Structure 1
Amino acid sequence: MARVGLTTERLVQAGAELADEVGFDQVTVSALARRFDVKVASLYSHVKNSQDLKTRIALLALAELADRAAAALAGRAGKDALAAFADTYRDYAREHPGRYAAAQFRLDPEAAAASAGGRHAQMTRAILRGYDLAEPDRTHAVRLLGSVFHGYVSLESAGGFSRSAPDSQETWSWILDHLDAMLRSRPAP
């Protein structure tokens, strides 16, 4: 019988918090059981295994990030939208490093289809409508933005920019200015 108060949602939330504290790679059903001071077997009525737990944390992180990005984008266009979207990813990674890592977790096709991942792509494409890009440039731009945002955030999180000038915020602003300029300079379709 499951311990009173343990639910799948509560376990996933605790798993996300654990990921932020110790790293997403360190999250297991055993580690979560220790956090609740219960036997591992008592969690299996809520999650199948560590893979299932990680998938659920990834889905939570994708949804949280999509909700934040949607709120940040409301009423914005052009460079304002681009910067708000980018800052949302960067801020989320700083606040929730384990969850941000979870958002990069490879999902099986069924879980990916049910995730908020599609919302992320839709929002990126909505931002790019302001730049009037035709296909295949629009798809290239979606991939470019994802690569730049994730790459920068990952390097910054690992301390990659902490030992040299200029400040990483200055570089971040420079990158966003230049992405905006590059996207605006593409010939109209």
Structure 2
Amino acid sequence: MPRAGLDAATVTRAAAEVVDEVGYAGLTMGLVADRLGVRAPSLYKHVAGQADLSRRIAVLAVTEIGDALRDAMQGEAERQALEAAAHATRRYAREFPGRFAATLHNTATGPEDPLHLAWARVVESHLAILRGYGVGEKDTRHALQMLRSFLDGFSLIEPAGEMHTEDEIDAGFRWLIAFIDRGLRELPGVRRGTRSRTASTSTSTPGSKR
């Protein structure tokens, strides 16, 4: 019989904690079992195996990122929304590096896949940023790819330490936000004459809310 109180969600949560500590590549069923105080075979009553567990971690992480974006972007538009999304994504990746990595190693298999549904919420937040700028339909797909490359890509390469000092990392992060903001405003058809207010978020640290 499965251990009382143990279910797929509990196993996934425990695995997410483990993967943040040991890194995505270090995750094993044995480590998760140790965290839960059970033997590894007991986990297979709740998850199909390590690949299934990895996907469940990814779904959990993408769901959490979606929640973080929603909360950070509430009431914001244009550059302020872009900054909010950038800081929220970077902050999540720093706080939960293992589960963030899981989002990059798992892909959705179809429209009903929980991972696809979780990503749809994230994409909707990204679309909200573009709508705020007035980006036209023909540019939306490319703009979405650009946002995803920045938001995920920066958080992926930052831990590698190739950007040297914390000040250099923060300066590069602010530069990219300003560059993207300027680029979106220069797209054909985007309304002119709007000017985003100077926001404290452009110089805030990654640990701050914005």
Q: Same fold (TM over 0.5)?
A: yes
- Shorter-chain TM-score range: over 0.9
1:60 aligns with 2:68: no
Amino acid at match of 2:169: S
Distance 1:61 1:108 in 2: 14
**Aligned twin of 1:171:** 172
Distance 1:49 1:177 in 2: 44
Stretches of structure 2 lacking an aligned partner (at least 5 in a row): 191-210
Distance 2:17 2:48 in 1: 19
Supply the RMSD in Å over aligned alpha carbons. 1.7
Contact persistence 1:62–1:115 (CA under 8 A): no
For structure 1, which segment, 105-114 or 169-178, has the greater mean C-alpha deviation from structure 2 after superposition? 105-114
Question: Number of matched residues?
Answer: 188
Q: CA deviation at 1:114?
A: 4.8
Contact persistence 2:107–2:115 (CA under 8 A): no
Distance 1:31 1:80 in 2: 41
1:136 aligns to what SS in structure 2?
helix
Output one character per residue of 1:43-83: Cα deviation in whole Å (capped at 9) or x when no partner. 11111111111111110000001001000010000000000
**Aligned twin of 2:181:** 180
Q: Report % sequence identity.
A: 37
Contact persistence 2:16–2:98 (CA under 8 A): yes
1:116 aligns to what SS in structure 2?
helix
Output one character per residue of 1:86-137: Cα deviation in whole Å (capped at 9) or x when no partner. 1111000010001111122323414256531011111111110122222331
Amino acid at match of 1:126: A
The structure-2 alpha-carbon separation of the partners of 1:132 and 1:5, relative to structure 1 and needing over 3 Å to count, comes to same
Q: CA deviation at 1:162?
A: 1.8
Distance 2:126 2:17 in 1: 27
Distance 2:126 2:37 in 1: 42
Distance 2:181 2:134 in 1: 12
TM-score, structure 2 normalization: 0.83
1:162 aligns with 2:164: yes
Stretches of structure 1 lacking an aligned partner (at least 5 in a row): none
The structure-2 alpha-carbon separation of the partners of 1:129 and 1:80, relative to structure 1 and needing over 3 Å to count, comes to same
The structure-2 alpha-carbon separation of the partners of 1:47 and 1:85, relative to structure 1 and needing over 3 Å to count, comes to same
The structure-2 alpha-carbon separation of the partners of 1:113 and 1:153, relative to structure 1 and needing over 3 Å to count, comes to closer
Contact persistence 1:28–1:53 (CA under 8 A): no
TM-score, structure 1 normalization: 0.92
The structure-2 alpha-carbon separation of the partners of 1:48 and 1:126, relative to structure 1 and needing over 3 Å to count, comes to same
Contact persistence 1:15–1:57 (CA under 8 A): yes
